[in-house]
Each structure stands twice: as structure tokens, then as C-alpha cells.
Amino acid sequence: MMEKIEQYIKRLITCLQITKIYTSGHPKFAEGLNAAFDSLTDVLREKQEFTIGIIGYELAYEREIFFELSQKIKSAITILKKKGIERITFIKGIDKEELSKFIEYLAIPETEQPQDPQKYIVAIGIRNIAVSKIKSSDDIAKEPGKEEIRDSEGYYAESLKTVEASIEDVLGGKTIDGVDFRFNVIGVMENLMKKHNEFLKLAAVKRYDATTFWHLLNVSILSMYFSWKLGFSKEDFLDIATAAIFHDVGKIFISRKIIQKTGALSEEEFDIVRSHSSLGAQILLKYSQTLGVIVPLVAFEHHLGYNCKGYPKLNFEQKPHIASLIVSICDVYDALTQRRSYKREYSPALIYEIMMKSKGELFHPELLDSFFKILGVWPFGTLILLSDDSVAVVREQNDNDIFHPIVEVVSPQEKKSHINLADSPNLTIKRFLNPASEGKQYLSLI
């Protein structure tokens, strides 16, 4: 019985993932629904009804916990928890339409969530599934503000794990579950669109954790946010985000296999590093069926540059794809925030200056302008020291003035206020405070 239920859960989740990627009218959905329904019928042949529950972050049937399965379907368990569902009962007599409606209900984004899940599913005509809500106090946010941040951070960490695992799989030549991966990317994206400020804030802080995987996730979040703001369709910015996650796969491969030294690189070694774009594309080409063709293309072109004078050197004319141009801006931006000289990090204003020097060469001119217009020179969540020595956090951008954002003074306490720097000529930004070092004490105020 356990195996049958496990198989049913797997198929149900696959179907839910398909709904998030395609629509319920898509043939892939019908295929997934048929498989899930067959499994369910199989279980209900032997039972009048059965209930699956969530204990902590594990899925359980009666007293048995599906440990392994729970690990694999963490994102789906999180969805159920966020909906406040801790028990689902499936009752004999259920038809395919009811199951289909239930899956569609599970796929509803958090923002449009009906208040009472049980009432809602009855209202849409589901008679043979019952759900019950979580009542335990630790599952209910006591401090909504704080919970929200912890939640995004948890989500960020979870996403990072997914990214790491998928990249490990690609590097190891394993087959990766494209549906599950895209589903997770969509999860990140939906959260990003809803709470983009939370994510940008996290990206502003995490950017100083200079690890490759943070870099990949940061570039992905930036690329997603940027292309979303540029007006790309959901499908397109999903592709761009996926491409951003994998853009440096070749580099990880090389650094593991060849370069292990920390000192200066020889010209020869530089050439090896430069080969990461074509190597990455080669690795990713094997996954174009599951991840799409944009992914290897962006890996190949992300250092090519708008003027095609970067690398790899081509002996034919190739205009880089817009996805590559977007990822390349976000990539350099994130890499520069991690760069240090004489123990000092690059300030956002310096990064702006450096990048503007390559406008029209490495970077597409209009895209670069749009990037800073959207992100601002001082991005959301940046910690700064003002000319009167107060500490402030960037809260909003001014559409017509990328240099002067709206900030919130967080220290000293008595000066606490929101100030539009565009309207305050006497107050200027003295410098940027790194949240990982001198700005650490203000971290909780960001």
C-alpha cells in the first residue's frame, strides 16, 4: 500500500509541476492527470479513503513517513504549508475532473489564495477530497514582518540548494529533471514578482557572500527582475533566468579540474578560464531538450559582448542573443560587487562608472541604460552613509534620477525618516557601507 500511495503522490506532484509550467489545457497536463488518476484509482480499489498528512516538512501516511520522497518534493510540501493545508483525504468515488480541479487549486499563486481551503474546494465542486488546515501555533506567523523576511531567506537558501544540486547533476553528466527544475525556478520567480523588494534586499546582502552559487543565483534573480521589468513574457524570463543559473557551468568544471591555485594566473591559464563559455555550452547542449536552447546559447555568448570583441573569438559574424546581453550585464554587475581592491569593495557608484565605460562595446547601450534606470545606481536595500554621517538604506528609486534614490535613515534613531535625495541638495551620499563588514551592525535594519 505504501508504494502505491507513494507512486500516486509522485504523479500528483508531477502533474502539479506541469500545471505551473504549462496550462491545464496543455496535452502534457492531460497526460500527467491520467497517470495520477490511474494511481489514485489503484489505491482506492483497496480502501474507502486515505489521508496523507504533513508532519514538520515530511509527508506521511498513517504512521509512516515518506522520508526520501519528502526530500524530493520539498517545494510541493512548502506550497501545501503555505496554503495552510496539513491533511488531505481522498475518498472513493472521486472522478478525474475533481482531481483536475484540485490540482488547479494547488497551483493557484499564493497571492490569490482563498481564505478557507475546504470551503473553496467544495465551492468549486470537489466532493471527494477533504483538506484540513494547520492549527499548531508554530506554523502561524506571529510577527508577520519578520516571518516574511525569514521566509524569503529560507526560500533563497532552498533555491540555492536546488541550483547547486542541478549544477552538480549537469557537471556529473546525470540526467536532470527539467520539469522539477523549471518548477523550482517558477517558484522563485513567482515569489520574486510578488515580493521583489524582499529578494532584491536579500540579493543586496548576499552579494557579498562571494561564492559561485550565490553568484549564479544573484545573476539569475537580477536577470529575471530586469527582463520582467523590460516587459518580457513569463515564459521568456523563465528561460533567461534558467540560462543565468547555468551561465558559468564551464567555469565550475574548469576550476574543479584544472585551476586550483589562488595566485596570479599565467596567460595560458587565462586562456583555459576563457574557454569556460564554449565548454559550458558544450556541456549544456546535452540538456537542451530539458532546459531549452537558450541555456547553452547564453553560456556560449555571455562574454562575447555587444560588439562581439569578447570571447570566444569567432570567425563568423554573430550578433549575441538578447538573453545573452541581459545576462552579461547582470553577470558583470554581480561580479563587480564581489570585486575588491586594497581591501575595499567597489561601491555602487564606481560599478556604475566602470560599466558605463563599456557602454556600446561590451554592453548593449540601451539595455545598459535601462538596467540602471530600473535598478538605480544605488540599488534597493543598499546601506549608505550620508553627508551628515547618518546611516540610511535605499528604499525606492526615482524614475528620473538614477543617482538620487529615496532612502530611509536608520541611524541615529532620532533622525529616523524617509528622505528623497533628489529633493535634498544639501544631503549627499558620502559612501557605501558593506553589509558584510562595517555595515554589519545595521544588517537587521535593512
Residues that bind Fe ion (CB under 5 A): 248, 331
Q: Which is nearer to Fe ion, 244 or 291 (CB)?
A: 244
Structural Rg of the chain based on CA atoms? 24
Count Cβ atoms below 10 Å from residue 169 Cβ, excluding itself: 15
Name which of 198 and 248 has its Cβ closer to Fe ion. 248
Place of cell 558605463: 356
Among residues 410, 404, 398, 406, the alpha carbon closest in space to that of 435 is found at: 410
Minimum separation from the CB atom of position 276 to Fe ion (A)? 6
* Residue closer to Fe ion, measured from CB, 241 or 386: 241
CB of 296 to Fe ion, least distance (A): 13
**CB of 85 within 8 A of CB of 133?**
yes
Exposed e or buried b per residue across 288-301, where buried means at least 16 C-beta atoms within 10 angstroms of its C-beta:
eeebbebbbbbbbb
- The whole-angstrom separation of Cα 362 and Cα 47 is 64
Buried-exposed string 399-417: b where 16+ CB fall within 10 A, e elsewhere: eeebebbbbbbbbeeeeee
Give min distance, CB of 164 to Fe ion, in A. Answer: 15
Task: Give the closest residue to 305 by CA, choosing from 323, 325, 322, 321.
Answer: 325
Nearer to Fe ion, 83 or 247 (CB): 247
Q: What are the angstrom distances between the C-alpha of 10 and each of 32, 47, 217?
A: 10, 19, 27
Task: Please give the grid coordinates belonging to residue 305.
Answer: 559582448
**Residue 204 or 421 having the CB closest to Fe ion:** 204
408 and 381 in contact (C-beta within 8 Å)?
no
Three-class SS state of 224? helix
Give the span between the Cα atoms of 9 and 59, in whole angstroms. Answer: 10
**Dist CA 68 CA 325 (whole Å):** 40
Least Å distance, CB 347 to Fe ion, is 21
Task: Work out how close the CB of 206 gets to Fe ion at its nearest, in angstroms, rounded to a whole number.
Answer: 15
Kindly state the smallest distance separating residue 304's Cβ from Fe ion, in Å. 11
Minimum distance from residue 305 beta carbon to Fe ion (Å): 12
Closer residue to Fe ion in complex, CB, 214/372: 214
Q: What is the Cα–Cα distance from 233 to 240, expressed in whole angstroms?
A: 11
Nearer to Fe ion, 122 or 314 (CB): 314
- Which cell is 389 given? 554621517
CB of 362 to Fe ion, least distance (A): 13
- Report the 10 Å Cβ neighbour count for 98: 20
In the complex, the smallest distance separating the C-beta of residue 299 from Fe ion, rounded to whole angstroms, is: 8
> Rounded to 10 degrees, what is the CA torsion of 68, 71, 72, 73?
120
Q: Which of 180/331 has CB closer to Fe ion?
A: 331
At position 65, the amino acid (one-letter code) is I
Choose among 329, 328, 346: nearest CA to 337.
346
Please name the residue that has the C-alpha cell 504523479: 11
Residue closer to Fe ion by CB (options 6, 248) is 248
Q: How far is the CB of 216 from Fe ion (least distance, A)?
A: 7
Contact 390, 382 (CB under 8 A): no
Which CB sits closer to Fe ion, 239 or 331? 331
